[in-house]
Amino acid sequence: MAKKRLAILISGRGSNMMALVAAARAPDYPAEVVAIVSSQPDAAGLAWARAEGLPATCIDPEAYASRQAFDGAVDRVLAEADAELVALAGFMRILSPQFVRKWHARQLNIHPSLLPAFKGLNPQAQALAAGVKISGCTVHFVTEDLDGGPIIAQTAVPVCEGDTAQALAARILRAEHALYPGALALVAAGRARLSDGRVTILAAAAT
C-alpha cells in the first residue's frame, strides 16, 4: 500500500514530531513526513527539523491579518506538499471551522489527559487539582469542538504522590511518544473507522 503523505504542525519543543519522524523512518510505516509547519519562528522543533533536512516551514501568525488568512497559508503549504494527513503535535493555534472541515477525519491531535477530562490548557495541572489518581494521553480526530473530537487511542499514566505538574507532564510525555506513532499508523492504514462520532479500530489485514 502507498504511504500516506503526512504533515506535522508544531509550535514548540517538537518531541511528538520527533517520535512521528522516527517511526516514519521504518520501511513498513504507513505514512511519510512530507511537511512540517511551525507557528513559532523560534520553536526548538523547527530548528531540529531543519537540521535534519526535513521540509520545514514557519508560518508566523503575526504576518497574517486574521485567523482565516493564517489557516489559508498553512493550507497552501499542505497543498504544495500534497499532504493527505495532518498531525497536530503541540500546535497551539485554534484552527478555523473551514480548515477543520477540510481535513475532516484526516487530522489528528494528541492531548496530555484522558479525554474528555481536562480539555484545554495545562491539563496536567488540571488533573492534579482534581486529585485524580490516573491520567494519561489521548489521540483524537480534530473537530470544531476543541479537544473534543472522536477518540482514536489512549494510554493511562499513574499520578504519583507528591507529583508536580511538571513531573506528571514528563511521565505523560513518555507515554505520548509511544502512543502517537501507533495511533497515526492506524489512521494511515485505514484501520480507524469514524462513524457516528466514534472510532472503531479494524483488525489488521492478514499478510
Q: Show the binding pattern over residues 102-121: x = contacts ligand DQB (CB under 6 A), - = does not.
A: -------x----------xx
Planar angle of CA 115, 92, 164, nearest 5 degrees = 60
- Whole-number Cα distances in Å, 116 to 23, 45, 85, 100, 136: 27, 28, 23, 19, 11
Residue 117 and residue 44: Cα distance in Å, rounded? Answer: 29
Query: Taking CB under 6 A as the rule, does residue 15 contact ligand GRF?
Result: yes
The verdict on whether omega for the bond into residue 150 sits within 30 degrees of 0, i.e. cis, is: no
Q: Which does 85 bind (CB under 5 to 8 A by kind): ligand DQB, ligand GRF, none?
A: none
Q: Which is nearer to ligand DQB, 41 or 120 (CB)?
A: 120
Judged by CB under 6 A, which of 149, 152, 159, 180 binds ligand DQB? 149
CB 169 within 8 A of CB 122: no
Active site residue 111: yes
For residue 150, give the nearest of 102, 185, 198, 87 by alpha carbon: 198
Using the rule CB under 6 A, which residue among 59, 87, 95, 137 binds ligand DQB?
A: 95
* Binding residues for ligand GRF restricted to 130-149, rule: CB under 6 A: none
Q: Is 142 in the site for ligand DQB (CB under 6 A)?
A: yes
Q: Which residues bind ligand GRF (CB under 6 A)?
A: 10, 12-16, 45, 89-90, 110-112, 173, 176
